[in-house]
Structure 1
């Protein structure tokens, strides 16, 4: 059974988790959902259900590896990177933010059949921020045609930068980017970097999509 939160449900989650996550936590990509947010959104209220193993096997392995990753879905970040993202985040560790927080999010790096959102080649990407600190920018990358999400750990060379936004204010806690995937079709990873405005804190998000 598919478990998705509507706008009211998402607001409730943001409020309910605000006290359960580190003070620096903010949010994640919610459309298309990042891997960590998608696993929390679909299974947070039912994470022990063995049905997940067959319905959503990549989330199943993530919950088994470290449930704290999903409870802290809005905290996949690093501080002090100063824009040197490629130096701070090694190949194969892009979806975990370079194994940030002592590898809490390591399961996000595992190749496989992650649940993917169907998107047209042009779409709006949304990041939701419960603390509303603002965005200096969003950088949005998409994997090159031919990248195999099922078997290949994500590397910088697999990605192409498709857009960088300008600064966006904190209120109402929604940051967007207009994404043009060009001629890409099929399964891809959208990789988003959100640079928060209140301090040097950057967030890293892998969202799985099926384009075209």
Structure 2
């Protein structure tokens, strides 16, 4: 179990992108009420925000990054609010609350704001090995009751198949973490190659508030 002081490169990048977002006058959640997300391997909406937040009107995104393009077109607030994909009062019954095919949106969270994250296709991936580190950035320092990390089983193809609970293997369940902006922990998911989805459940400590976060990875 470990927790970390804020990582300057991550926070500096986020601050720069948030400043860029203001220039475009698109509505997004006030950082005073902000929450967090998995930033490495990056969750789908954080990844789209990180790479395109300061250039989200660039038409080249349609060819260079089609999954982020469809997400930006569907609902830009899914990216501006990359830190707000959560549900409340689930009571630990995650599979009961989140239907198959809607895991990456947290089960149609926020009136469908994040539905584009469930889209099937060639999402941008982060290269990882069998052993890798999951990093949370939490602006509000909520802490965690626990994290549960699932990885899709070998043979699953995120570019053609919707994500279901039956496609996932639980590879890590942590204990509690005290409040901090940066939390990281190691996971192991051997026997995989190519494009997979890392599905992280972050149970925040301050309320019964559960975050559901899909990160696309490439096992080398």
Residues paired across the two proteins, number: 206
Deviations 1:52-98 (A, max 9, x none): 01111100000000001111100000000010000000000000000
- Structure-1 residue corresponding to 2:94: 85
1:39 Cα offset (Å): 0.5
Task: Provide TM-score, normalisation by structure 2.
Answer: 0.89
Whole-Å separation in 1 of the counterparts to 2:132 and 2:141 = 23
Change (3 A) 1:155 1:24: farther
Q: Are 2:34 and 1:62 aligned?
A: no
Q: Are 2:134 and 1:125 aligned?
A: yes
1:7 Cα offset (Å): 2.7
Quick one: which of 115, 120, 126 aligns to 2:124?
115
Quick one: which of 9, 12, 34 aligns to 1:9?
12
CA RMSD, aligned part only? Answer: 1.9
Check conservation: 1:138, 1:177, Cα contact below 8 A. no
Q: Which runs of 5+ in 2 are unaligned?
A: 1-7, 22-26
- Structure-1 residue corresponding to 2:202: 194
Check conservation: 2:74, 2:116, Cα contact below 8 A. yes
Whole-Å separation in 1 of the counterparts to 2:12 and 2:118 = 27
Aligned structure 1 segments of 4 or more residues deviating by more than 3 angstroms:
13-17, 22-25
SS of the aligned residue for 1:95 comes to helix
Check conservation: 2:17, 2:53, Cα contact below 8 A. no
- Structure-1 residue corresponding to 2:191: 183
Whole-Å separation in 2 of the counterparts to 1:199 and 1:15 = 26
Change (3 A) 1:27 1:104: same
Query: Superposition pairs for residues 193-212 of structure 1, below 5 Å?
Result: 193-212=201-220
Whole-Å separation in 2 of the counterparts to 1:81 and 1:73 = 20
Whole-Å separation in 1 of the counterparts to 2:71 and 2:86 = 18
Q: Which runs of 5+ in 1 are unaligned?
A: none
1:12 Cα offset (Å): 1.6
Check conservation: 1:163, 1:177, Cα contact below 8 A. no
Whole-Å separation in 2 of the counterparts to 1:194 and 1:40 = 20
